[in-house]
Structure 1
Amino acid sequence: MSKNSKAVVSFIVGAAVGVAVGYFLNSDAKDDMVSKLRYEADKLKEKFRRKKEQFEDAVENELT
């Protein structure tokens, strides 16, 4: 594949992705997906916080 054809394919793929993102950002599904992502992010933060506390407790118990 030549450089010109790669550039054309890249441009077309980029344009398609841009159109898809633009459509998504203007749709009603955006709000639903954002709230789901926030919920999952909060769950992961809480899980990480608990694991961090467990690790800190384990290290503290080993040092005493």
Structure 2
Amino acid sequence: MSKNSKAVVTFILGAAVGVAVGYFLNSDKKDEMVSKLRYQADKLKDKFRRKKEQFEEAVENELS
């Protein structure tokens, strides 16, 4: 592939991503999707916190 054709493909791909992001930001589903992402992030934070506490307890028990 020549340098010019790679540039054209990259430009078209960038434009498509830009259009998709613009559509997402203007859609009515944005708030619903953001809400779902926040919910999933909160679940992951809780899971991480529990694993951290379990690890700390295991280290404390091992050192005692």
Common fold, TM-score beyond 0.5?
A: yes
Following superposition, the deviation at residue 37 of structure 1 comes to: 0.1
Structure-1 separation of matches of 2:5 and 2:21: 24
Structure-1 separation of matches of 2:10 and 2:30: 26
TM-score (norm 1): 0.98
Q: Which runs of 5+ in 2 are unaligned?
A: none
Task: Give runs of ≥4 in structure 1 deviating > 4 Å.
Answer: none
Q: 1:1-64 to 2 correspondence within 5 Å?
A: 1-64=1-64
TM-score (norm 2): 0.98
Following superposition, the deviation at residue 44 of structure 1 comes to: 0.3
Structure-2 separation of matches of 1:24 and 1:11: 20
Following superposition, the deviation at residue 34 of structure 1 comes to: 0.1
Structure-1 separation of matches of 2:34 and 2:18: 19
Residue type of the partner of 1:31? Answer: D
Equivalent residue pairs, number: 64
Identity between Structure 1 and Structure 2 (%) = 88
Superposition CA RMSD, Å: 0.3
